[in-house]
Structure 1
Amino acid sequence: MALVDFELDTDGIAEVLKSPQMRDAMNGAAVRVAAATRSRVPKDERVAYRPYTTDRRAASVTVMSSEDRSEELYQAARSTGLEVTEEPPATE
């Protein structure tokens, strides 16, 4: 088998990660996770998403609650087709 010559184009990757298309994809995923989360938490708890940019486009989903809602967020993210690799903290 022949070896493949490969050069990582970090400038190109950065351009893709900061692109309007990536912004739209991140915002769309966050909106879907927020909607799925709303159906899993009490109606009086506010669920919000916030788009932002660091070295790439990103978005966060937050539940305003006095309770730990990690499990609901993980379930919501999984239900939208996102791969969740971190498990919520164990509850006592």
Structure 2
Amino acid sequence: MNQVISILDSERIKYTVADNGNITIGGHLDLRGIDITSLPDNLTIGGHLYLSGTGITSLPDNLTIGGHLYLSRTVITSLPDNLTIGGHL
């Protein structure tokens, strides 16, 4: 989770962290080309999630995305059963 918080802070992306540690991002999260290898469980993103060209190998449990999910140029081969996407994959 610390890696994600550092990226959010450096990219000046607004987010909230609940008492239980869950991170919520109201808008889009664009991580294209960023050196990141994982996302925290129970992450909520109100807009689109761009993971193209990242080193992420799997998606976290209970990931909720209000918009589209972009996975091109990743090595992700399966999706978790509890993934929620409001837009297109």
TM-score exceeds 0.5: no
Which structure has greater helix proportion? 1
Larger radius of gyration: 1
TM-score between the two structures when normalised by the length of structure 2: 0.29
